[in-house]
Amino acid sequence: MRVLTVDDSRTILAMLKHTLTDAGYEVLQAENGQQGLDMLGQENVDVVITDVNMPVMDGIEFIRQVRAGGQHHNLPILILTTETSQEKRDLGRAAGGTGWIVKPFDPDKLVSVIRKVSH
């Protein structure tokens, strides 16, 4: 199973890669929403994990663009962010986000959520 992680923090990307690789996933990474879109155009993935606050294209716009394309209508997209406001959660859900996880993440819970949304 392949997971695309989209985050502008290299530390978070490294933590995600370590956690997901240990759990048996293949991990692709992008540092902003535009890179994430480009990668989705070239690669097949089973789950996406995206941050909200990023340069170039934020996570909410990234999700909107992914959903607008049509071919990724059923792709699970998890939002991993420090944002906790209900307003941001509502924006994420309205854009097409599948789930919301607050940083710092618990590795076991993250893997559990990925398993849940990818089956």
pLDDT number for residue 72: 86
What would the two tokens of residue 7 be? 């985050």
Give the single-character DSSP code of 71. T
**What domains are defined for the chain?**
2-117 (3.40.50.2300)
pLDDT number for residue 33: 94
pTM summary value: 0.94
Phi then psi dihedrals of residue 26, to 5 deg = -90, 135
Q: How buried is 101 (Cβ within 10 angstroms: 0-12 exposed, 13-18 middle, 19+ buried)? A: middle
At 32 the three-state DSSP class reads coil
- Does pLDDT of 84 surpass 90? no
pLDDT number for residue 30: 97
pLDDT number for residue 100: 92
Residues present in the chain in total: 119
CA angle 112–8–92, rounded 5-degree value: 55
Q: What is the pLDDT of residues 87-106, one digit of tens each?
A: 989 999 999 999 999 998 99
